[in-house]
Amino acid sequence: MNLEEKVYKKLLEVPKGQVTTYGELAKAVGLKNGQRLIGRIMNKNPYPVIVPCHRVVMSSGKVGGYAWGEKIKTNMLAKEGIKIKDGKIDDPKIIHRF
């Protein structure tokens, strides 16, 4: 299994209504300081309907980038019941830790 597949498989563990951070996901697959690499992998996600890359946010709580735009990512998260205020996740308790 290559790194991308490992990352996508791990991301499938994040339930609807929760998010994880780029750094948490990197650690979960054994990457030290791999948050930028995780961002690049998320950007190239060939299965966005199946692998919920919109559930990966910045460690600061900011929604962060998305291949189809931050507004679409924010809307997708809101539809899952995630509250966002001023571009940030409004409830730090919803961050999924592996």
Catalytic residue numbers read: 53
Which helix or strand (DSSP H or E) is residue 72 part of?
helix 70-79
Measured in residues, the chain has a length of 98
Q: How many CB atoms lie within 10 A of CB 56?
A: 28
- Say how far apart CA 56 and CA 20 lie, in whole Å: 5
